[in-house]
Structure 1
Amino acid sequence: MATWYGAHIAQAASNEGGPDGEALVLELWELLALRGSDVGRLGAVATRLLQMPWHQHLREPLEAHGYDSRTGSFPRGPAPGLLQELTRIGAGANPMPFAVPSVRGCRLQARQRVRTTGAEVTLEHVLATSDGRGYGLIKNLQTCIYGRVRHGVELERIAPEEQSGGLFGGIQRTLGGQQPVQWRATERQVAVKCIERSKYEQHVARHRGQLNEDPIKEVAVMEYIAGKGGAPYVLPLLATYVDEQTVYVILPFCPHGDLFGVVERDGGLQEAKAATYMGQIVKGLEHLHDMGLAHHDMSLENLMVDDAKRAIIIDFGMAVKAAPTFTDFWGGGHDRLSAGRSYRAVPLAPRRGWPGRCGKLLYMAPELFDCRASFDVFAADVWALGIILFLLLTGMPPWDAATGPVATDLRFVYVRDGRLRDLLNTWNITLSEHAPDVLQRLLTADPRRRLTIPELKAHPWWRQHARFVDQA
């Protein structure tokens, strides 16, 4: 697996960036923000960052502000304006700042007999794994560009002496041409993401390794989250297996579909119900941000409803590893409501593809449409939270889902100009007293003025629904 998948991420996942790449980015920005900082350390950090291919765009501004590439130092110290210039253009984003996913072997077996409660059934496909587990693949849930997602059930092996009425009976039935029962179904349902290696490799080749959405990176992100102790309301990875043709990613099955389906079926929700979902979503997202992870594709479609009817964040194929900071580098100050947590990120460099303009247009923040300005990935996630809350409360999108927030859409102009309440009035939508204001502040076009997560949790709407949001 490491050899197969390592081909297009070897450079990124090697020690050339390493797990400390984001820490170095943060150190460079904060050294520049501090007066009288260690110039020697500043040169060493700049040199290290310039060894990483995704930071090559920093070389020109660094050299224009006193950095000497030959000596790897600032002989006369950094020239004024360097921090502002680096903030304007943003740091690069490592496409794969995670370890190559760990996988186990498996074998896909055809027509296996499985014992269930009170009956025996034949499953067309069973995934028999090298660690002794089994997964019966029942039906197709979704077809995607790399393969499909299957609904499955976890199986356990039946000892030979139990198979088909004892060891002698099993031998007789095998000699008679009938397969003995080797598996017993458990009560655990799973979703199995089947990534066909040939389709994946073709897609990587077409995009020259620069993928907006990478299902193998998604596995690496989920392993990273698990290594940090996991996060509430975030779908956990159960296991990953591979054979010659396919990678099988085993995930918990969420029986109630996604939140998009809930809104499509029920329309706008009661505010108490919407607040309960928001409490769960925000708690999961703030844990991801604490880990330095921006989801970068938050949407109703990427929020599943589990067996306890809780909102669960899924789909990390576009996730960005960021450098969390207390410092607002645009404004030069510190977050007033950080409360011991960091809810800003060192600005990232824009790109037309990942890590800039990607994801679903409806949920994309306005700054992601501008490929000339750096952006804060945490603030972009918060904008998506605003769209999610708008959909939960009203049952309809604020503007055209096919174009997103563009100035040619008068609905977006209303919101951009601070007239979201007027927009709701034109649609005859009535919400509670504080709901239009929290939506307006989440959907503030200027990311520097947009609510942070701590500010959202201090908003009167949140406090008004505290007994619901705090159920998370």
Structure 2
Amino acid sequence: GQPVGGNVVNSESVTTTPARRTTKDFIFGHVIGEGSFSTVYLTKDIHSAKEYAIKVCEKRHIMREKKSEYVKREKDVLNILSSAQTPFFVKLYCTFQDAERLYFVLSYAKNGELLQYINKLGNFDISCTRFYAGEIILALEHLHRLGIIHRDLKPENILLDDKMHILITDFGSAKIVNSSVTQTKSVTTPETNGEVSSSEQEQQQRPTRRRNSFVGTAQYVSPELLTDKTAHFASDLWALGCIIYQMVSGLPPFRARTEYAIFQKIIKLEYEFPEGFDSDAQDLVQKLLVVNASERLGAQDTNGYPSVKNHPMFNGIDFENI
């Protein structure tokens, strides 16, 4: 722990910061990320000299873009993850606000986005792909045990810490399936198979929601989100399939000039493997990119994702000590 007293961010807990923080507790450096209504700054705590990423949200923009639900959900999910002390996720240390803005004090991912490494290298070799796919599947085990579906998993939302381990971020589109889910609860319940539909209650809460709206990013969105507006835990497994494909080949599997054309390809499962694509990785991708969510590899697992972790692509990976 850290000394109590003074405005020190308490590393043990999200809720018990000794005193309300303000912008005066931090030195703000350069911008490290931009969203539609937020800007992320690299900052230094003036008391401990620790570095944090602070996400600053403009209240005006949030109200204008009707994004308050998005901001609240991100905070709720980060609170759940931070109290569960799970590895592989950005941690929320505290939040504060002033008249114009909301501030989220988050862990600083020193090495930026996974995407920039894929782009810089062109693609990853199989051992590097295996390592990052392994970390992502462990992260999804944690997330889904806590009853959370990410719904917007992509290489831009997978950050890397100072030791090049993953820190998944951006939970504004996430779905909390059951806020009272305990660690031991199975990932999918037999009755619903982990499916969550846009219930009437949710429609009432968000009357402005357009029928053709979807959450997520075009190239990684799963067919079920496009066709029947439902999200499953297996929607994140679909995204994992897209990310593995992109790590091996350098590009996402479903590509077209317009979002509409991308959606058509996704629904029809129209993609191909380039020459020289690793055969084990190809087999895994084919087992994850299945239109019927319940038939994806791992979708029937009830405690973590052993069927994915036992796939030949992960031969030699020590999941206990990754």
The TM-score with structure 1 as length reference comes to: 0.55
Structure-2 residue corresponding to 1:466:
317
Residues 137 and 314 of structure 1: is their aligned pair in 2 closer, same or farther, counting only changes over 3 Å? same
Q: Is the 8 A contact 1:356 1:368 kept in 2?
A: no
Query: What is the aligned length?
Result: 285
Q: Does 1:136 align with 2:42?
A: no
For residues 184-218 of structure 1, what are the alpha-carbon distances to aligned partners after superposition, in whole Å with 9 as ceiling and x for unaligned? x72x21111111222222222xx7x6x5xx12321
Letter in 2 for 1:153: K
Q: Which runs of 4+ in 1 moved over 6 A?
A: 101-104
Q: Does 1:367 align with 2:258?
A: no
Gaps of 5+ in 2: 1-14, 179-185, 204-208, 299-304
Larger RCO, structures 1/2 (Cα 8 Å, 6+ apart): 2
CA distance in structure 2 between the partners assigned to 1:346 and 1:399 by the alignment:
24
User: Which among 276, 286, 290 is matched to residue 429 of structure 1?
Assistant: 276
CA distance in structure 1 between the partners assigned to 2:82 and 2:92 by the alignment:
8
SS in structure 2 at match of 1:441: helix
Residues 140 and 435 of structure 1: is their aligned pair in 2 closer, same or farther, counting only changes over 3 Å? closer
CA distance in structure 2 between the partners assigned to 1:465 and 1:356 by the alignment:
42
CA distance in structure 2 between the partners assigned to 1:102 and 1:242 by the alignment:
16
Structure 1 residue 376: Cα displacement:
4.5
Residues 434 and 348 of structure 1: is their aligned pair in 2 closer, same or farther, counting only changes over 3 Å? same
Q: Is the 8 A contact 1:304 1:314 kept in 2?
A: yes
CA distance in structure 1 between the partners assigned to 2:232 and 2:58 by the alignment:
30
CA distance in structure 2 between the partners assigned to 1:289 and 1:258 by the alignment:
22
Structure-1 residue corresponding to 2:96:
241
Query: Which of structures 1 and 2 has the bigger CA Rg?
Result: 1
Gaps of 5+ in 1: 1-100, 108-126, 129-133, 157-184, 331-343
1:397-412 alignment, distance < 5 Å: 397-400=252-255, 402-403=258-259, 406=262, 408-409=264-265
For residues 24-81 of structure 1, what are the alpha-carbon distances to aligned partners after superposition, in whole Å with 9 as ceiling and x for unaligned? xxxxxxxxxxxxxxxxxxxxxxxxxxxxxxxxxxxxxxxxxxxxxxxxxxxxxxxxxx
1:1-400 alignment, distance < 5 Å: 105-107=20-22, 127-128=23-24, 134-156=25-47, 186=49, 188-204=50-66, 211=69, 214-227=70-83, 229-323=84-178, 326-329=188-191, 344-349=193-198, 357-370=214-227, 373=228, 375-400=230-255
SS in structure 2 at match of 1:194: strand
CA distance in structure 1 between the partners assigned to 2:78 and 2:87 by the alignment:
13
Q: Is the 8 A contact 1:434 1:461 kept in 2?
A: yes
CA distance in structure 1 between the partners assigned to 2:312 and 2:248 by the alignment:
16
Letter in 2 for 1:389: I
Q: Is the 8 A contact 1:306 1:312 kept in 2?
A: yes
CA distance in structure 2 between the partners assigned to 1:406 and 1:151 by the alignment:
35
CA distance in structure 2 between the partners assigned to 1:294 and 1:407 by the alignment:
21
Structure 1 residue 366: Cα displacement:
0.9
Structure 1 residue 327: Cα displacement:
4.1
For residues 346-366 of structure 1, what are the alpha-carbon distances to aligned partners after superposition, in whole Å with 9 as ceiling and x for unaligned? 442378769972110101011
The sequence identity of aligned pairs, in percent, is 23
Letter in 2 for 1:428: E
SS in structure 1 at match of 2:293: coil
Residues 313 and 382 of structure 1: is their aligned pair in 2 closer, same or farther, counting only changes over 3 Å? same
Q: Does 1:444 align with 2:290?
A: yes
Between stretches 347-356 and 436-445, larger displacement belongs to 347-356
The alignment yields a C-alpha RMSD, in angstroms, of: 2.9
Letter in 1 for 2:71: P
Letter in 2 for 1:150: Y
CA distance in structure 2 between the partners assigned to 1:412 and 1:366 by the alignment:
5
CA distance in structure 2 between the partners assigned to 1:191 and 1:145 by the alignment:
17
